[in-house]
Amino acid sequence: MMQHTTVLALGRVRLAELQRQAQRDALATAARQARKQQSGHRASGILAALTVWAHRPRPAPESS
């Protein structure tokens, strides 16, 4: 059985790790939004969507 202090220390470490992950995720989200606002050009997003659509897998043609 683990000591109470060991369990407490492990819980604190886990909490600190979760806080670091949340902060990293928040920073990544903010950076993504900043890049999106900075680009200002909708054409690049439309072209990217069109490229994805053009390269999508299509069903094989039916043989007669």
pLDDT tens sequence across 18-40: 999 999 999 999 988 888 776 65
- Condensed to tens digits (0 to 9), the pLDDT of residues 50-61 reads 888 888 887 776
pLDDT value, residue 50: 84
The two counts, helices (H) then strands (E), for the chain are: 2, 0
Residue 31 token pair: 């950076």
The domains of the chain are located at: 4-54
Pick the closest to residue 28 from 16, 20, 40 (CA basis). 20
Distance between CA atoms of residues 19 and 9, nearest Å: 15
Mean pLDDT value of segment 43-48: 75
Q: Does 41 have pLDDT greater than 90?
A: no
Residue whose token pair is 């819980």: 11
Cα 37 to chain centroid, rounded: 18
pLDDT value, residue 25: 94
Q: For residue 39, which amino acid is it?
A: S
52 against 41, higher pLDDT:
52
